[in-house]
Structure 1
Amino acid sequence: MVTRASRRSPACAWRCPKWSSRASRPTFRCIRSCCWTIRSCAAARRSITSSSGWTSANRPRDSRYAQRLSLQPPTRACCNVLEALSFDAAADAAQRWADALLDAGALSVDVADSHAGTPAETPLYAEPGGSGTPFWPVSRLTALFNTAVDAEAALASAAAGLDESVPVHRRATISDIDWVRKSQAQFEPIRVTEQMWIVPSWREPVDTRAINIVLDPGLAFGTGSHPTTLLCLRWLAANVERGASVLDYGCGSGILAIAAAKLSAGAVTGVDVDPLAIAASRANAEANGVAAEFCSPDALPVYAVDIVVANILANPLELLAPLLAGRVRAEGRIVLSGILEPQADRVAAAYARWFNIAPWGSADGWTALAGVRYTG
């Protein structure tokens, strides 16, 4: 699985609070990021309907040309399509190109592995606590433009600002289609276990006798399709006892807390540092008709629970070990997910002081750890 770094211009920042200011542009989202608007490059990749061949623009780059390109890119009449330009850049140039394209009028810039889908593909995972933002040796940049902007001129303007030649690139036209319908068509009911399904609100349950978690894709992570979420759900389905108290730390969409409540847990609480996630979790819990509390870490009362589940990432899980251990009662249980298989040993070591912990299950290169709190 390969991470992608999508970057948005200030013009569309209002559509996603994750991109709230120009200052946030250096921020790169991990695999848990979501793009839900027509302005996302993810949508562009899925909706290319026609494209020309690769083109090369070897124009003279004298001072007059550079001065002309420093002006705003020329515009033309807007129509209901978008235009994408894609090209490859070295790792040390990818961020500079992304910034220059946004300054030249791009709605968003996506940075991906140029070799994705080939044996040369390189998985990269940026996560909290890591060192800097990783880039692929050869990165594929895709800039998305409104057709009111001359994309070719914008690319030339970006190149001039970087004192670079216009790169060999590819153009693609994106149709004006019903993006809501197209997005919804991608989400089918997900079978978690024999008796548990995740069902989008616009779909009918496959099995009305099963536990059906109604959940739509949104800004918060946790639609149930990712292996890390599925591992946690399967552990909960196999281990939650009636009346058990459950804490979902890093709740995202609230899916794990909702599942615990539907499995007849007692007091269920979800915690997240993102206010959007808390709001999404509350809305999802209401849609599912379950009672669960959601709050920020600062607002969480001091108490220990029967089960703590944390589906985050390896580095934060290591840092949170003392805090999460303190939230589990003696002989209570903890479940940790969001861990790549090579990271499992070091995460387990961070919790070994408090728990008898070991791998519980794996899927697609991800591992879930489960442990029991020592009594001492």
Structure 2
Amino acid sequence: MFWVTLIIKTDAAHAELLSDILIEQGALSADIHDAAADTDDEQMLFGEPGEICGEIWQNAEVSALFDQNVDIEEIVRDLTKAAQFDRPPSYRVERVEEQDWVQLTQSQFDPIQISSRLWIVPTWHQSPDPAAINLILDPGMAFGTGSHPTTKLCLNWLDQHIRNGDVLIDYGCGSGILAIAALKLGAQHVTGIDIDPQAINASEENALRNHCNSSDFEFITADTERALQLPGSADIVVANILANPLILLAPLLSNLVRSGGRIALSGILSEQADDVNSAYQSWFDMSIAADMEGWVLLTGIKR
């Protein structure tokens, strides 16, 4: 068995319309992507949570997956009529063979070395270094597999700065990767906070998978009474979110850190660093601790 993918070249004004029409015509799935992806002309789009970006690539492609028995020419004729085009759009067809999709997905995620002693290892792999600190973590519904530069920046910083007995708060914990790493690096207790209940569930499962003692961690949603009891309790607060939420959360996050404690902020593009830095300078002596692929890690010590 196989499937066919119909790929139509279009522009920003028509991409969403074509995607909707293809779904109505029975496409199993449809997506919009940059026609220049992986070339020098690739157009990067960035947005923050809560913002309406309103942008689609000017040179776009709409890909729609169909069963092998469909009549592509008929679909294109019907699409041309439904979209009120004068002539059929430019398109191509690709064949998609049946595969072991689980195995294919797993093959895209190999162990990741963070430092000389810290690795992230999916459950289907053997650790390349059994003597290292290995974080057993699979890609899932919550952000944080260790592959993104922002997560790597945080993990490297924790590897260098966690001390035995530290109390840490991971705000926007996602998969729990930073909190779990902190425990394995010597923290006494970690608290992960997130607005998404699925992230809380994922973090708890990952912590248990990594043989963390249940008395040493807690994962809670941001609106719980327990979250209100945390101000001033942390030796370290780490938040890998995005620039705008970090700016809005500056008073809250700053209040979680004890005097003399540290804060580490990630999810910040280089050009956003000054704005985030300014938001925290009232409480911390801030600096750029590291950068990677256009992202920066800001850290500070509370006065």
The TM-score normalised by the length of structure 2 is 0.92
- Give identity over the alignment, percent: 46
Q: Name the residue aligned to 1:159.
A: 80
For residue 88 of structure 1, what is the aligned residue in structure 2? Answer: 9
Tell me how far apart the structure 1 counterparts of residues 220 and 71 of structure 2 sit (CA, whole Å). Answer: 46
Shift of 1:340: 1.1
Shift in Å, 1:147: 3.4
Counterpart for residue 130 of structure 1: 51
- Aligned position for 1:372: 301
**Correspondence for 1:63:** none
Say which of 226, 231, 238 aligns to 2:148.
226
Query: How far does residue 151 in structure 1 lie from its aligned partner after superposition?
Result: 4.6
CA 1:270–1:149: 2 relative to 1, 3 Å: farther
Higher mean Cα deviation, 224-233 or 85-94?
85-94
Alignment-derived partner of residue 302 in structure 1: 229
Task: Quote the offset at 1:230 in angstroms.
Answer: 0.5
Partner of 2:259: 330
Give the conservation status (yes or no) of the 8 Å contact 1:105–1:154.
no
Corresponding residue SS for 1:236: helix
- Residue 359 in 1 paired to residue 280 in 2? no
User: Equivalences for 1:1-376 in 2 at 5 Å?
Assistant: 80-147=1-68, 149-164=70-85, 165-290=87-212, 291=214, 292-299=217-224, 300-303=227-230, 304=232, 305-374=234-303
Higher-strand-fraction structure: 2
Q: Deviations over 1:228-286 (max 9, x none)?
A: 10000001110011111111111111110110111121220111122221111111111
Give the deviation of 1:366 after TM superposition.
1.0
2:229 partner letter = V
Q: Secondary structure at the match of 1:92?
A: coil
| Contact persistence 1:244–1:267 (CA under 8 A) | yes
Distance in 1 between residues matched to 2:242 and 2:190, nearest whole Å: 22
Q: Deviations over 1:4-52 (max 9, x none)?
A: xxxxxxxxxxxxxxxxxxxxxxxxxxxxxxxxxxxxxxxxxxxxxxxxx
Decide whether aligned partners of structure 1 residues 254 and 152 sit closer, same or farther in structure 2, where only a CA change above 3 A counts. farther
User: 2:168 and 2:183 mapped to 1: Cα distance?
Assistant: 9
The 2-side partners of 1:147 and 1:294 are apart by: 46
Q: Distance in 2 between matches of 1:316 and 1:192?
A: 26
Paired AA for residue 298 in structure 1: D
Q: CA deviation at 1:152?
A: 4.3
Distance in 1 (CA, whole Å) between partners of 2:274 and 2:74 is 51
> Shift in Å at residue 115 of structure 1?
1.5
List alignment gaps of at least 5 residues for structure 1: 1-79
Amino acid at match of 2:300: G
Q: How far apart are the structure 2 equivalents of 1:152 and 1:331? A: 68
Letter paired with 1:294 = F
State how far apart, in whole Å, the 1-side matches of 2:252 and 2:68 are. 51
2: CA distance, partners of 1:335 / 1:273: 19
CA distance in 1 between partners of 2:222 and 2:70 (Å): 44
In 2 relative to 1, CA 146–271 (structure 1 residues): closer, same or farther, beyond 3 Å? Answer: farther
Cα 1:145/1:278, change in 2 over 3 Å: farther
Conserved? CA contact 1:101–1:155, under 8 Å: no
Count of matched residue pairs: 295
Unpaired runs of 5+ residues, structure 2, are: none
AA of the residue aligned to 1:113: D
Root-mean-square deviation (CA, aligned residues, Å) is 1.7
Partner SS, residue 13 of structure 2: helix
Task: Summarize the Cα distance change of 1:188–1:302 in structure 2 as closer, same or farther, 3 Å threshold.
Answer: same
TM-superposed deviation, 1:106: 2.1
Q: Does the aligned pair in 2 maintain the 1:336–1:368 contact within 8 Å?
A: yes
Code of the aligned partner of 1:355: F
CA distance in 2, matches of 1:232, 1:338: 10
CA–CA distance in structure 2, aligned partners of residues 373 and 317 of structure 1: 16
